[in-house]
Structure 1
Amino acid sequence: MFAAGFTTVLITKPETKKLREVCVNSFSETYEHLNTPENFRKYVETNFSIHRLEEELENENSFTYLLYYRGEIAGYLKLNTGDAQTENISGRCLEIERIYVLKKFQGRKAGQLLLKKSIAKGRALKKEFIWLGVWEKNKKAIEFYEKNNFIKFDTHIFTLGEDNQVDFLYKYIL
């Protein structure tokens, strides 16, 4: 069965604390051991502050969903369009800025569910393609996107603290 027990909910400002918790936890599980403590702390404090997340939730061009598994937060998804996108990519497109599933929920098709949600949102908004950035060292994510027909089309620099890292840019044609 496809992602049995999982649901997604579009969230608003009152859920900011829940969002912050899953942002910090999922990002820590994925990247903390691969970066210096200083750079990691700086990135988390800047990008996952309550104030910053509230601003993102108030942006009408961003859509943030919490992923639940039988009532427990299991991950989240953040989509951007228009001026909310982190890069100026030409064309009618939707960015997947963040897509994370907590480790204890991985292996249950939750990532597929979030990807399916992204594709449906892109189609509903009449976009031509979806795009995202993936750290060149995140082999698991690269394999996931390539398996799901995303095509590498460019690179950009993602700054974590003071560390400039190379991200591969991928797109999925809708």
Structure 2
Amino acid sequence: MEHITLSKATAADWQTIRDLARATFFETFAAGNTEADMAEYLEETFNDTKVQSELQVADSQFYIAWDDKTPVGYLKVNTGPAQTALQDADSLEIERIYVKSSHHGKKVGQVLYEKALEVARHQQKKYIWLGVWEENPRAIRFYEKNGFVAFDKHIFKVGTDEQIDIMMRKELE
């Protein structure tokens, strides 16, 4: 963990974000989805054009976690109209925290989460929210450990499969 650093992603980092996004999403969810659904989701969500476009959104920020010079995870946070569901001016959405499986258990996710918390506090948000797949107990435990509580559910599509995400939030002091 002593070598983990964060950098704020810029438009020039699109390939790094794309590669991290594709690799970490696949590692995290391939076992629970069909090959066809995974392929469709990865192509629709993490294609070159879409990733480049997401990096241009003023109300979104990306951060890359580095182990020395190797990218090992990333964070995407949204405010205002960039939020995927609530779009509450008082909130910050953690849309994505993903870490390569090689770095699970090494506190990379915690470092990324703490960056999200820092961004939310700097912007004087009242709470942070996110959606997490109901069949991802590791992530649910992580967020509960960090003070999040479930408040609703919504549909998240992976390919043609409609899945249930638990919506969680954490009030900020």
TM-score tier by shorter-chain length is over 0.9
Q: Which residue number in structure 2 is paired with residue 79 of structure 1?
A: 77
Residue 44 of structure 1: which of 37, 42, 45 is its match?
A: 42
Residue 137 of structure 1: which of 135, 138, 142 is its match?
A: 135
* CA distance, structure 1, for counterparts of residue 11 and residue 51 of structure 2: 8
Q: Which segment drifts farther, 88-97 or 140-149?
A: 88-97
State the superposition RMSD in angstroms. 1.0
Question: Alpha-carbon deviation of 1:88?
Answer: 2.5
Q: Which residue number in structure 2 is paired with residue 24 of structure 1?
A: 22
Question: Alpha-carbon deviation of 1:90?
Answer: 3.8
Residue type of the alignment partner of 2:25: F
Residue 86 of structure 2: which of 71, 88, 98 is its match?
A: 88
Q: Which segment drifts farther, 80-89 or 127-136?
A: 80-89
* CA distance, structure 2, for counterparts of residue 172 and residue 52 of structure 1: 29
Residue type of the alignment partner of 1:123: R
* 8 Å CA contact retained: 1:7, 1:69: yes
* CA distance, structure 2, for counterparts of residue 170 and residue 138 of structure 1: 13
Q: Which residue number in structure 1 is paired with residue 103 of structure 2?
A: 105
Aligned length: 172
Q: Specify the SS of the correspondent of 1:170.
A: strand
Q: Cα–Cα, structure 1 residues 151 and 91, in superposed 2: closer, same or farther, change >3 Å?
A: farther
Deviations 1:55-104 (Å, cap 9, x if unpaired)?
11000000001110111111000000011111025451000001011011
Q: Which residue number in structure 1 is paired with residue 126 of structure 2?
A: 128
**Gap regions ≥5 residues in structure 2:** none
* CA distance, structure 2, for counterparts of residue 105 and residue 36 of structure 1: 25
The percentage of counterpart residues that share the same residue type is 39
Q: Specify the SS of the correspondent of 1:117.
A: helix
Q: Specify the SS of the correspondent of 2:106.
A: coil
**Gap regions ≥5 residues in structure 1:** none
**Runs of 4+ with deviation above 3 angstroms:** none
* CA distance, structure 2, for counterparts of residue 86 and residue 142 of structure 1: 19
How does the TM-score come out when normalised to structure 1?
A: 0.96
* CA distance, structure 2, for counterparts of residue 109 and residue 66 of structure 1: 14
